[in-house]
A = this chain, B = another copy of it.
């Protein structure tokens, strides 16, 4: 039976596994990314571990390796200046893996991999036009149009988190101001809380040191009915709605999928988001677009997405 390896490289952990053509995970392991000081030691180890995993069942035959990584570039096969990884500069990751495997090796960024995973095996099954939004420390995105990922001419398309939603707004890690991810991300949520908390002595959030406040704590406070925390979610949703409405005007998707740590806030985010989204959309797009959470299990989605890259390539040939 043909199996695809999916490798999800994160700043802390790298999770990898084997999936079948139905998207089921057959085997899964993980290593600490930070343990590997150079990409060479990382690839050496991963190549060995993937081969070992495939060899655990003599019925399995490896069809290819899909890799999702921050700043992973589909066209060049390189990881370029990823701020959360310790490997500097431009890392030719696909080339390094090709030294070990005479098989298709496909790299893209984590949000794009997640989008492919959703299209083949998740809530976007059968959808040809949708947007995948990963809400974590930052805001990542993958755009699918007519059944294909929008990679752009250089593989850098899909930077919804770096569309500007507020002129002269919050300072962003990218060096500019007002980017969507400075508002709509776990980090953005906390920034809003820290800004607004001094004006609200009655908020539950005052129980915590300013440094302790996380998106999870804000979520818990909101669940308890804390007014400030609810307002923080509403504000975050309003900004996200604007960014999404602008993206809709460009690609007109049928579906928007939310994924990642912050999407655990569920209705705290989704209810105000749907309201602001419909209010912000141009009338020709109103009441046409669903916003859903990913249906893939959190620990598995990234590996399934990475592995799905291999099956997606297969579909094209």
Contacts and interface: CB of A to CB of B under 8 A. Distances in A.
Given A145-B145, A164-B242, A242-B164, A251 B282 contact: no
B129 A163 contact: no
A242 B166 CA distance: 11
A284 B285 CA distance: 31
A82 B253 CA distance: 22
Interface in A226-251: 242, 245-247, 249-251
Contact of A164 (B143, B162, B245, B252): B245
Nearest to A158: B250
A176 B246 CA distance: 12
Contact of A156 (B143, B166, B284): B284
A194 interface: no
Given A148-B146, A150-B150, A163 B285 contact: no
A285 B249 contact: no
Given A145-B145, A167-B242, A176-B282, A249 B153 contact: no
Interface string A91-132: 000000000000000000000000000000000000111000
Given A150-B250, A174-B283, A145 B159 contact: no
Contacts of A284: 156, 159
Contacts of A146: 148, 150-151
A52 interface: no
Given A129-B153, A157-B252, 12 more contacts: A127-B153, A143-B251, A145-B151, A154-B252, A155-B252, A159-B250, A163-B249, A164-B245, A164-B280, A246-B246, A247-B250, A250-B251
12 contacts: A129-B153, A143-B251, A146-B151, A150-B250, A150-B252, A153-B253, A155-B252, A157-B251, A159-B250, A162-B282, A174-B282, A246-B246
